Each structure stands twice: as C-alpha cells, then as structure tokens.
Amino acid sequence: MLLDIDNLSLTITTNGISHQILDKVSLSVDAGEVVGLVGESGSGKSTTARAVLKLYPETAAVGGSITVGGTEVLSASKDELHRVRSSEAALIHQDPRAALNPVRRIGDSLTERLVHVLGVSRADAAAAGLELLAAVGIRQPEERMRQYPHELSGGMLQRVVIAAALTGQPKLLLADEATSALDVTTQAEVLAILRDLQEQRGLGVLLITHDLHLAAAYCDRVYVMYRGQIVEELRGNDLFHGAQHEYTRRLLSAVPAIGHLPKTESRAS
Amino acid sequence: MSEHVLEVDGLQKAFRVGAGNVVACNNVSFAIPPGGSMGLVGESGSGKSTIARMLVGLETPDAGTIHVRGRQLGTRERGRAARLRRAKEIQMVFQDPYGSLDRRLTVAQCLDQAMRLHGVSGSSRIAGLLDQVGLLAKHGDSKPHQLSGGQRQRAAIARCLAIEPSVMVLDEAVSALDVSVQAQILALLNEIRASSGIALLFVSHDLAVVSEVTDDVLVMYRGSILEQGPTGRVLNAPEHSYTKLLISSMPGPGWDPKNVLERRAAFLAEVGV
C-alpha cells in the first residue's frame, strides 16, 4: 500500500475542552488508484489529508498510524518527514491564489521545491518546470513562467499548482477540493489532465471532494466521512445505488440533480 | 404598466482591459414576473456577475434600461436618498455571508439597522423574520461567527427580506454550502417566492441547483445570451451546443472528462476561437 492510515484518532483541546476531530479513521490508497473521500464540512476530510503530511497543531493528541510508502509518518524523524513532504506526497488545495505567492513569478513558485529543497540547479529546474507546465496542458510555458499569478485565470493557476506539486515526483497526491472552485468545463479539463498524469506515473490519488457525483464518476473507491469517522467504503460506481449507511443515503438524497427535487424541510436542523 | 417585477432591456457593458475592450454584457434583455425566478448560468467570465452588479447599482451600464415594477432605475444614482430607493427595490445575497454581514452586530441588530436605514418600521418584525428564514429566536442574539455557514446565509436572506424588496439577486448564494444545507436554503427560497411574490434572479454556475429554484433560465457565454427558456426544457432538451457542453460537463453516471474536452474543442471551433 502506498498510503495506509490505520485507526487514526486526533483530539484537539482548546480552553480545557477536548474536541475529537478524527475517530479511528482507517483508509488506504494503492499506487495507481484514485480514492475519494467525501463528507460535509467539518467531517474531518481535510484534517485526515493534512495529517498524512503531519500537518496538525503540536498540541493535538494523535493516535494510530499513517504509513506513506513504508515510512511511518507520525513517528518519523525530521529527515524522514522532510523526505515524505518533499518527494513522497504532495497536497493540492482548493484555492490556487492562496497557494502561490502573488508577488513572485510563476516560474519561481514552480521551481522553488526543486531549487531550495532538492538542490537542483536553476537551469535544470527551469527545464523541468517547462516540461511540467506542458504536461499539465499549458500552452506557451516560457511566457507563463515569467508571468505573475494575477495574470492567469483560476483554471490555469490550478494547473500550475498541480505542476508544482509534481516537481518532487511524488507517488501520492492529496487533492483537497482541488477542482471545486473551477467551472465545470475547466474542472473536466483539469481532471482529464490529472487522470493522464496519474496513469502515466502510477500515482495514487486521494481526492477530497464534497461533490458526490464527481466522486462516483471519477474515483475507483470512495470513503464517506461523518463526524470524524469513516462510516462507509464503496466502489465509485456503487456510491449512488449501493450505499448502506443511513448518513450516506441522507447525503445522497440532498444532492441536487437536474429534474429532481430534494425532499428536504426548509427548517434548519 | 407592465405585469413584470423586473424588466431588463438591451443591457450593455464593456470593460477596458489593456488596449482592448471586453464585452461583459451584450444586448441582454429579460423579464421576471411576480414570484418568478430566473436562473442565470454560464462559466466564469461569462458576464453573470456583471449583470447582477448592474442590477444593484454596483456597475453602471453603458446602455440599456432596468425597470422595477414599471419604474425605471437611474443609471447613476446621485445622493443618499436615490441610492437607498434603489437598494430598497433590489437586494443582493452574496456567496460569502461572512463577508457581507457586519461581524460586530448580532443578527437582530443587523436586521434592525437595515430596517431603520430604509425607514421600514418594526423591531417587532425581527422575530417573524427569523422564523421566516428558519432561524430560532436565540439566533437573533448571535454574531455571525457564532453561526454555521447555513445559518449565516439565512441571516443574510433575512436582512434582504427585512426591507421588503421587489427583487432579490442571489449571486452564487448557495455555492459554498454543504449539499444538505444547500437543499434547505433552496427549499427556503422556493417558500419565500411563493409566499411573498419577490422575484428572484439566481446566478449560479451549478445547473442542478438552478434547476431546483428557477422557472426560466438564461445561458450566457462571453457576455451574450445563447439560449433562454423554461428551465426544464433548456436543461432536459438543450438546443444550443454550449448548453449541451455545460450539461455534459457535470459529473454524473458515465461522465468522462475526456469527452467533455472533445465537446469543448468542438464548441470553440464552432464559435471560431
């Protein structure tokens, strides 16, 4: 297994009150596999993804284990953790404008990891950067390298962020609502590129999304999260028809679709 | 006069970008009857938000007219009284209620302030307004940060209702919400327009959401309306190739991003890009 999360629990205590964010979460992603993680805001999806890179507050109490490519992350030494973060797994966020420094050129942001973390020369890093921009379907990559984030559209920037995530040649991509802010047509374009890259490189992808239709259509397997727990695991194709858990069914019934009205009370619950 | 609450005729707007002009809105006309709901769909940059912003007076049209209940809105309101009069006719709900609610005011204070600003009587209406949008009386004493995303959007809708506008413009108002909360807010909007006769203009990139709260829909691309008609007809039997592209782009059973790219390339070739 490329990613193996076993019985992960995470509790954060603020002002003497404990909040259990994750409760015995277990999931796995194999190489070459696209796995969805769905659920509502606050269910713990992002916390799970961030924990894979050991990105959580130092005050958090964490139990269980996370293995990325054979390395136990939670007990990893500083050097091991550095290696996991720089070349094993990469995290892509929803908002590319927040991920890129607005006053630095695209080329600098793109090659930063290669030059400053992996010690590649600037010329080699620039060449690798150009190649990656072409790989994510950006035309005139030389020109884009010299531009600033505000000069590019959201779809273009998200492709830059994906390219930047690939610079360390990771084996695992953690995509946290990476296409949620894009138009449906642009989303399709970015996902087609991601699928190609994923197949060529045998990447494992953990796709976090609130879009259940997307999870069903794009993922091999889907985990459903609710209040810090994985309540159900399904094959992507079975998500809409094979759900057993009551929460999953309730969630699915709220999904709007053309030509069907959800049976929901307008009152807040 | 007219039986329509909102009538937009020949609306035109171009923005100067660099050396050239980008036409964000090209000869757009539509009308909404009392209690009616119009969807406005299209991708980023299609001009949806520009239309919404022109309706509420945040942008000035280059040409065209906007009538609310038969009265023409000025293109550039001068003075506080004129601006308030316009705001009372058309209210807007934004995507991010956290950004549009004053974080120092409780919900009740916010409603009270909106009503006093517009000279609408009644702190006595606050309880009724909270109930109308499905908030509890205790939520009146909460500040925005103490509410959930769905509750905040309810508060923003209550603020609109407080001043009894003729038209409500909702710009991606449910896009940031979870599906179950989204479904509640959509049901609430349907309830409001049935009971109050307020006309809704519902701007969204999400066709499925639009299909649940609108009677008619406008499909926009690069400032122009490419297709319009009853929502059910447009979404179930689209005529324009762009509408077909949008519908096929929505993830669903059998969806393949590669097919979407082919359709998009075909459409772009058709419009000559």
Decide if A139 touches B, using CB distance below 8 A.
Answer: no
Exposure letters A202-230 (e unless 16+ CB within 10 A, then b): ebbbbbbbbbbbbbbbbbebbbbbbebbb
Which among B134, B191, B236 has the least Cβ separation from residue A258? B236
Between CA A196 and CA A166 the distance in angstroms is 13
Between CA B196 and CA A168 the distance in angstroms is 57
Closest CA to A211 of A243, A250, A171, A252: A252
> Which helix (H) or strand (E) covers residue B129, if one does?
helix B126-132
pLDDT tens digit sequence for A141-178: 999 999 999 998 888 898 899 999 988 899 999 999 98
Which of A94-103, A138-147, A260-269 has the lowest average pLDDT?
A260-269
CA distance B223 to chain A (A): 16
Measured at the CA of A54, the angle between CA A49 and CA A55, to 5 degrees, comes to: 75
Closest CA to A35 of A208, A251, A249: A208
pLDDT tens digit sequence for B225-271: 999 999 999 999 999 999 999 998 888 877 888 888 888 888 888 88
Between CA B88 and CA B77 the distance in angstroms is 13
Decide if B257 touches A, using CB distance below 8 A.
Answer: yes
Which among A240, A251, A256 has the least Cβ separation from residue B212? A256
B180, A213: Cβ pair inside 8 Å?
no
How far lies B103's CA from each of A42, B127, B248, in Å? 22, 20, 40
Strands B6-17 vs B63-68: parallel, antiparallel or unpaired: antiparallel
3-state DSSP percent of chain B in helix, strand and coil, to 5: 45, 25, 30
A94 band by pLDDT with thresholds 50, 70 and 90: confident
- What CATH number does the domain containing A245 carry? 3.40.50.300
Q: Based on the structure, what is the number of domains in chain A?
A: 1
Q: Best residue in B175, B180, B188, B220 to probe A by mutation, most A CBs within 10 Å?
A: B180
Give every strand in the sheet of B90-93, ordered side by side: B90-93, B167-171, B199-203, B37-41, B216-221, B224-230
Decide if B33 touches A, using CB distance below 8 A.
Answer: no
Whether residue A266 is contained in a domain is answered as no
Using CA coordinates, name the residue in chain B closest to A155: B44
| pLDDT score for A144 | 93
Whether residue A263 is contained in a domain is answered as no
| pLDDT score for B273 | 63
Decide if B207 touches A, using CB distance below 8 A.
Answer: yes
Decide if B250 touches A, using CB distance below 8 A.
Answer: yes
Q: How many CA atoms lie within 13 A of A169 on its CB side?
A: 7
Exposure letters A29-54 (e unless 16+ CB within 10 A, then b): beeebbbbbbbbebbbbbbbbebbbb
Q: What average pLDDT does the segment B5-14 reach?
A: 95
Mean pLDDT of chain A: 90
CA distance B231 to chain A (A): 9
| Phi, psi for B128 (deg, rounded to 5) | -65, -40
Whether residue A224 is contained in a domain is answered as yes
Using CA coordinates, name the residue in chain A closest to B234: A258
Q: Which CATH architecture has domain B6-239?
A: 3-Layer(aba) Sandwich (3.40)
Contact A178, A165 (CB under 8 A): no
Contact A32, A238 (CB under 8 A): no
Q: Which residues of B touch A218 (CB under 8 A)?
A: 251, 255, 257
Domain boundaries, chain B: 6-239, 240-273
Whether residue A268 is contained in a domain is answered as no
Using CA coordinates, name the residue in chain A closest to B174: A256
Between CA B261 and CA B253 the distance in angstroms is 17
Which of A10-24, A177-191, B6-20 has the lowest average pLDDT?
A177-191
Whether residue A160 is contained in a domain is answered as yes
Mean pLDDT of chain B: 90
Q: Which residues of B touch A267 (CB under 8 A)?
A: 134, 184
Q: How many CA atoms lie within 13 A of B128 on its CB side?
A: 6
| Lookup: tokens for A231 | 């309540």
Q: Which residues of B touch A254 (CB under 8 A)?
A: 179-180, 182-183
A104 band by pLDDT with thresholds 50, 70 and 90: very high
